[in-house]
């Protein structure tokens, strides 16, 4: 172990192979391209065009060209509007505030449209909780609007039909169900809109046999149940993360994908500010899997989810002995008295445990313990008590509490529905934008019961597993074509407005129900739901708002802002100790534990057909286009599996075979799997990507539906190749590790060290000299600074860059060859040991070096330098030698080995519809040219043009790059380095600032702010 430690202490490793100095990896690091990247083309896969045919085509096209040339001066036509809408200017973007429907958080969004088509989604800065930021799903969801496989027309038994006949058929069927006393079941996901709820209520009023079932795969029901028991209300508070000095997260990925994580990240980052006084919080994470939050932890303990209950109880026992803010009766005391921390001392180390206890003890009232959504109710209740003991309830924020409009259906309710379906008591099933066949565990028997229902109607944007099992598939509007509202957080009522007319013959999902409620197919009109929404707004919001504005103006201003702040009574609650006393004690697992949890980018499978999201590398493992069974290195050794080897998992009578991935830092004897993958009925992109872990779930699993004890796991034999971007672009640090000055790509320190020696990073700095004359930059000089203290590795910047800069999707096979096209990537390094790794993240993009090495080697001057400090890339000049990429020390240049829009899945993304997603201000690159980050030159030029129009000098703050705008923690700063007052210039002079590979003297213009870890030591390792 000691030798391991020494080996690792002076180098960083990107994967286990790397750590063990696998010769292949070492070799790969010295090469620019992965093995296979530059392979010859496989002739059998090339076009079948024969030489003869090619010549024939050539002459034909020459003849055509000659004909075309007879009018070679013709430049086509310019067709202006007939009657120009007042607010649309060709070439100038319009922005509309709306609400995102991607998940149940309902963040406020700002949609950018050009000439009437949406091209970019960003956060709405006026939204009180998300504050101008949205997640990667929200960013990339624009592609779903232009998904070539959306339903275009209403279908009956897969055949095109028209709405009028659909409406009258269904209305008569509904009346039949009603008169014959059969149930009408509406199965929906989580309802976030109060007006949708009203429509559902109206539906029940019209057809009283209707029952509503609300079920979503990814939910917070366990937490809500615990709050119901502990506090008598299933409404739970937001956490004031920015006021928490100590955070203990128990398998809670609150900075990664749980709850309102974008908001959490922002608040957490407020306590990672290195400008001015250092006032860091301290983040402890106790988890089994390796999550994003775990990677950011100051202290990370490997505790399997099945032992967390004992851990919490033992903590209560220990901490209540030092005093308690709540009166503990003898029942409670005897309940937690059984548990002791002794068991965990060996697991997490005595020192670490003492630090945790001391920190929680000293920071009573300013610390928070937070359990993950997948944990059973019992753990949540115990955590609630622990927070009560510590007096941490002052950090609960009920003004923005999490509301629930329609209760999540319990397993019993759904079992009853399936039972009624099987007995023929259900006349109609309506899938209201939901996909229960995919998201419900198999042992409900929902799919087979559906066959016994005569009328199954699915309201959906695309065909899915549930619609394929029914008779009617009705296309509904995308969120950008819809009206709507959302009320999920206390005090926040947000509105959704359409920014484009429906592209296909689809309808608003509520409007379809309203037509059926009216009982007459001619009742439908375009405004039916719009009017309903306005009425509901007037009664629920306007009438209660204390305003002098008339209803119409108030509505218009609310639409303009996208959100209305409403004043309402804040819940006041008291902990019910009986809830704790009545808990069933949970025991730990004897065999393997399986932990199913949310994925990072594709939701409950809803975004599986979105190539951009499938291709964003997993924040921890860097795997794309797949999910897998993560196992710890030592468990992998015991099971004798390596990456991509198939594992067979058996829980009770439920089985799943999927590839293993050896994840450093995972708890032993734990399998962690992401949900949402393995869709079968979906478009070309998402079909059979990954493995469906819902098959492991069961209606009977207690206490949590996501954690199973006593599973058996074995090697299945066979392989499923996992494709990871992890070992690609390995930064070259092996060569220089023996140099007197270690080439530090990641530079880090601890808070204690920094307070003691603020200049510790620059002590051994050498003066670098240049052999060429330095170019003087007068005027603007663009530069970026990235604060690694704030970066959470969320990949929102990647998603935002993809959309802004028309980045192509290349597909799994091309990713495996190292041809991923993303302009910004997040590098993840491990240090320490494979069992207890310390992760470091670093966004890497074109550094726009002053002495750019790529420029010197380009034979055609296709890449060169601009007077404002940008490393320019000119596609028209590029002849594709790839010398520049070869000479780039940061490996940030991307080559178009194919025309990827044409190459990916047989021109999947090359069609008239999907082309509409492209940003018209950025060239769509074709085969054979190099591309890379441009610092969003289109935004710089737009700001410059505005400055000239206003007759003022261009300032750095006028330009906001796409990654910067999207970054939830504002870790990215962009601006003018020549303006000494600009934030970026100040960060360049920060004590913690450094450049990657500084000793090369290429003078990069991206400055990194070294990460400080808030541990009790001055050393990191």
Partner 1 sequence: MKRTVLDYALKIRLPLTLFVVAVSVILTFYFSRAERDSVGYNPEQPIKFSHKLHAGQMAIDCQYCHIGVAKDRHAILPSVNICMNCHTVSRKDRPEIIKLTQFYTTGKPIPWKRIHKVPEYAYFNHSVHINKGIDCASCHGDVKQMDLVSQVKPFTMTACLDCHRNSQAQLPYLKTVRNGPENCWACHR
Q: Which positions touch partner 1 (CB under 8 A)?
A: 73-84, 89-92, 864-868, 870, 872, 874-876, 921-923, 934, 937-938, 941, 944-945, 948-949, 951
The closest alpha carbon to 727, from 19, 4, 22, 28, belongs to 28
* Least separation in angstroms between CB 966 and partner 1: 20
Q: How far apart are the C-alpha atoms of 371 and 312, rounded to whole Å?
A: 10
Nearest residue (CB) to partner 1, 46 versus 78:
78
* Least separation in angstroms between CB 874 and partner 1: 5
Nearest residue (CB) to partner 1, 40 versus 87:
87
Q: Are 571 and 235 in contact (CB under 8 A)?
A: yes
* Least separation in angstroms between CB 784 and partner 1: 16
* Least separation in angstroms between CB 66 and partner 1: 16
Phi, psi of 305, deg, nearest 5: -60, -25
Q: Are 625 and 815 in contact (CB under 8 A)?
A: yes
* Least separation in angstroms between CB 867 and partner 1: 6
Nearest residue (CB) to partner 1, 433 versus 921:
921
* Least separation in angstroms between CB 308 and partner 1: 51
Nearest residue (CB) to partner 1, 602 versus 849:
849
Q: Are 316 and 387 in contact (CB under 8 A)?
A: no
Nearest residue (CB) to partner 1, 945 versus 1017:
945
Q: How far apart are the C-alpha atoms of 351 and 330, rounded to whole Å?
A: 31
* Least separation in angstroms between CB 76 and partner 1: 5
SS3 696: helix
Tell me how crowded residue 604 is: count the other CB atoms within 10 A of its CB: 22
Nearest residue (CB) to partner 1, 80 versus 859:
80
Nearest residue (CB) to partner 1, 27 versus 952:
952
Nearest residue (CB) to partner 1, 278 versus 924:
924
Nearest residue (CB) to partner 1, 29 versus 944:
944
Tokens of 166: 């659909």
Classify residue 614 by its DSSP letter.
H
* Least separation in angstroms between CB 976 and partner 1: 16
Q: How far apart are the C-alpha atoms of 528 and 508, rounded to whole Å?
A: 9
Residue keyed to tokens 């949205």: 134
Classify residue 13 by its DSSP letter.
B
* Least separation in angstroms between CB 77 and partner 1: 5
Helix (H) / strand (E) containing 671? strand 670-674
Q: How far apart are the C-alpha atoms of 680 and 703, rounded to whole Å?
A: 29
Q: What are the angstrom distances between the C-alpha of 255 and each of 102, 135, 751, 830, 837?
A: 18, 11, 21, 19, 19
Q: How far apart are the C-alpha atoms of 105 and 130, rounded to whole Å?
A: 9
**Strands of 117-123's sheet in order across:** 94-99, 108-114, 117-123
Classify residue 230 by its DSSP letter.
H
* Least separation in angstroms between CB 881 and partner 1: 18
Nearest residue (CB) to partner 1, 44 versus 876:
876
SS3 785: strand
Nearest residue (CB) to partner 1, 15 versus 806:
806
* Least separation in angstroms between CB 119 and partner 1: 15
CA 529 to chain centre: 31
Helix (H) / strand (E) containing 293? helix 292-296
Count Cα neighbours of 932 within 13 Å in the Cβ-side half-sphere. 25
* Least separation in angstroms between CB 861 and partner 1: 9
* Least separation in angstroms between CB 92 and partner 1: 5
The closest alpha carbon to 517, from 186, 216, 194, 187, belongs to 186
* Least separation in angstroms between CB 91 and partner 1: 4
Q: Are 869 and 847 in contact (CB under 8 A)?
A: no
Nearest residue (CB) to partner 1, 90 versus 365:
90
Tell me how crowded residue 877 is: count the other CB atoms within 10 A of its CB: 13
Nearest residue (CB) to partner 1, 83 versus 767:
83
SS3 632: coil
Q: Which residues contact 539 (CB under 8 A, 6 or more apart)?
A: none
Count Cα neighbours of 211 within 13 Å in the Cβ-side half-sphere. 18
Nearest residue (CB) to partner 1, 923 versus 1015:
923
Q: Are 130 and 123 in contact (CB under 8 A)?
A: yes
* Least separation in angstroms between CB 804 and partner 1: 12
* Least separation in angstroms between CB 936 and partner 1: 9
Q: Which residues contact 79 (CB under 8 A, 6 or more apart)?
A: none
Q: Are 461 and 431 in contact (CB under 8 A)?
A: no
Query: Omega before 377 cis (within 30°)?
Result: no
Nearest residue (CB) to partner 1, 183 versus 921:
921
SS3 99: strand
Tell me how crowded residue 710 is: count the other CB atoms within 10 A of its CB: 13
* Least separation in angstroms between CB 73 and partner 1: 5
Count Cα neighbours of 168 within 13 Å in the Cβ-side half-sphere. 6
Nearest residue (CB) to partner 1, 938 versus 991:
938
Pairing verdict, β 246-250 and 367-371: parallel
* Least separation in angstroms between CB 146 and partner 1: 21
Nearest residue (CB) to partner 1, 80 versus 181:
80
Pairing verdict, β 396-402 and 748-750: unpaired
Q: Are 777 and 999 in contact (CB under 8 A)?
A: no
Nearest residue (CB) to partner 1, 115 versus 443:
115
Q: Are 754 and 1010 in contact (CB under 8 A)?
A: no
Q: How far apart are the C-alpha atoms of 85 and 445, rounded to whole Å?
A: 53
């Amino acid at each position: 172990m000691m030798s391991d430690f020494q080996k690792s202490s002076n180098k960083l490793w990107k994967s286990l192979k790397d750590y063990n100095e696998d010769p292949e990896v070492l070799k790969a690091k010295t090469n620019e391209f992965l093995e296979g990247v530059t392979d010859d083309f496989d002739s059998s896969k090339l076009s079948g065009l024969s030489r003869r045919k090619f010549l024939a085509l050539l002459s034909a096209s020459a003849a055509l060209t000659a004909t075309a040339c007879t009018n070679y001066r013709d430049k086509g036509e310019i067709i202006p509007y007939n009657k120009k809408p007042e607010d649309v200017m060709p070439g100038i973007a319009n922005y509309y505030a709306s609400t995102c429907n991607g998940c149940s958080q309902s963040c406020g969004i700002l949609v950018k449209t050009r000439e009437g088509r949406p091209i970019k989604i960003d956060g709405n800065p006026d939204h009180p909780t998300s504050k101008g930021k949205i997640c990667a799903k929200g960013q990339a969801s624009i592609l779903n609007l232009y998904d070539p496989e959306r339903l275009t027309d209403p279908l009956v038994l897969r055949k095109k039909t028209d709405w009028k006949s659909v409406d009258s058929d269904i209305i008569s069927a509904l009346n039949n169900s009603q008169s014959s006393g059969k149930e009408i079941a509406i199965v929906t996901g989580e309802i976030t809109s109060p007006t949708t709820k009203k429509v559902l209520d109206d539906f029940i009023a019209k057809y009283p046999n209707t029952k509503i079932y609300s079920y979503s795969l990814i939910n917070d029901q366990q937490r809500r149940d615990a709050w119901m028991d502990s506090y008598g209300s299933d409404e739970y508070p937001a956490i004031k993360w920015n006021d928490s000095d100590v955070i203990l997260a128990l398998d809670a990925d609150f900075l990664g994908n749980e709850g309102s994580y974008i908001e959490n990240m922002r608040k957490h980052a407020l306590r990672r500010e290195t400008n001015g006084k250092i006032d860091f919080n301290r983040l402890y994470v106790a988890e089994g899997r390796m999550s994003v939050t775990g990677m950011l932890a100051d202290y990370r303990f490997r505790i399997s989810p099945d032992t967390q209950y004992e851990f919490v109880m033992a903590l209560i026992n220990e901490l209540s002995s030092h005093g308690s803010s709540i009166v503990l009766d003898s029942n409670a005391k005897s309940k937690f008295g059984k548990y002791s921390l002794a068991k965990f001392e060996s697991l997490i180390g005595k020192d670490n445990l003492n630090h945790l206890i001391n920190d929680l003890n000293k920071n009573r009232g300013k610390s928070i313990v937070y359990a993950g959504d997948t944990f059973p109710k019992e753990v949540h209740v115990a955590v609630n008590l622990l927070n009560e003991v510590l007096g941490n309830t002052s950090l609960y924020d009920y003004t923005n509490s999490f509301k629930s409009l329609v209760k999540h259906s319990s397993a019993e309710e759904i079992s009853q529905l399936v039972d009624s379906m099987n007995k023929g008591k259900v006349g109609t099933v309506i899938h209201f934008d939901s996909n229960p066949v995919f998201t419900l565990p198999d042992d409900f028997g929902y799919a087979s019961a559906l066959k016994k229902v005569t009328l199954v109607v699915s309201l959906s944007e695309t065909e899915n597993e549930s619609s394929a099992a029914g008779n009617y598939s009705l296309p509904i509007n995308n969120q950008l074509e819809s009206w709507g509202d959302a009320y999920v957080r206390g005090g926040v009522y947000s509105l959704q407005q359409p920014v484009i007319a429906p592209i296909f013959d689809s309808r608003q999902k509520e409007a379809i129900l309203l037509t059926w409620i009216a009982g007459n197919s001619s009742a439908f009109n375009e405004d039916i739901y719009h009017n309903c929404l306005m009425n509901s707004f007037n009664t629920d919001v306007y009438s209660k708002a204390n305003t002098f504005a008339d209803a119409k103006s108030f509505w218009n201003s609310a639409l303009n802002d996208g959100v209305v702040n409403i004043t309402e009574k804040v819940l006041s609650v008291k902990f019910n100790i009986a809830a704790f006393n009545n808990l069933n004690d949970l025991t730990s697992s004897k065999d393997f534990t399986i932990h199913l949890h949310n994925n990072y980018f594709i939701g409950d499978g809803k975004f599986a057909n979105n190539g951009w999201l499938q291709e964003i590398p997993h924040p921890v493992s860097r795997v794309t286009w797949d999910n897998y069974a993560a196992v710890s290195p030592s468990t992998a050794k015991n099971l004798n599996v390596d990456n991509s080897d198939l594992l067979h998992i058996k829980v009770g009578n439920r089985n799943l075979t999927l590839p293993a991935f050896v994840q450093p830092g995972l708890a032993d004897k734990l399998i962690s799997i992401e949900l949402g993958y393995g869709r079968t009925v979906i478009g070309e992109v998402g079909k059979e990507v990954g493995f469906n872990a819902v098959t492991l779930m069961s209606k009977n699993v207690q206490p949590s539906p996501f954690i199973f004890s006593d599973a058996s796991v074995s090697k299945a034999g066979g392989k499923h190749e996992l494709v990871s971007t992890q070992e690609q672009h390995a930064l070259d640090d092996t060569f220089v590790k023996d140099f007197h000055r270690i080439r530090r790509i990641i530079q880090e320190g601890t808070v204690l060290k920094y307070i003691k020696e603020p200049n510790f990073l620059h002590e051994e700095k050498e003066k670098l000299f240049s052999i060429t004359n330095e170019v003087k930059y007068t005027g603007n000089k663009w530069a970026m600074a990235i604060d690694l203290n704030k970066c959470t590795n969320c990949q929102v910047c990647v998603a935002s860059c993809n959309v802004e800069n028309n980045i192509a999707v290349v597909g799994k096979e091309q990713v495996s060859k190292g041809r991923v096209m993303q302009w910004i990537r997040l590098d993840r390094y491990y240090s320490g040991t494979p069992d207890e790794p310390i992760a470091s993240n670093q966004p890497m993009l074109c550094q726009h070096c002053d002495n750019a090495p790529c420029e010197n080697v380009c034979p055609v001057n296709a890449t060169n330098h601009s007077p404002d400090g940008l490393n320019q890339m000119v596609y028209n000049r590029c002849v594709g030698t790839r010398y520049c990429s070869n000479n780039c020390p940061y490996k940030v240049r991307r080559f178009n080995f194919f025309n990827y829009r044409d190459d990916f899945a047989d021109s999947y993304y090359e069609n008239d519809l999907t082309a509409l997603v492209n940003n018209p201000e950025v060239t769509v690159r074709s085969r054979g040219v190099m591309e890379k980050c441009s610092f969003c030159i289109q935004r710089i030029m737009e700001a410059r043009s505005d400055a000239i129009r206003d007759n003022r000098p261009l300032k750095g703050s006028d330009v906001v790059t796409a990654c910067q705008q999207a970054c939830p923690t504002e870790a990215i700063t962009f601006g003018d380095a020549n303006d000494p007052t600009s934030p970026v210039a100040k960060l360049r002079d920060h004590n913690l600032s450094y450049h990657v590979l500084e000793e090369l003297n290429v003078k990069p213009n991206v400055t990194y702010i070294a990460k400080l870890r808030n541990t009790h030591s001055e050393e990191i390792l």
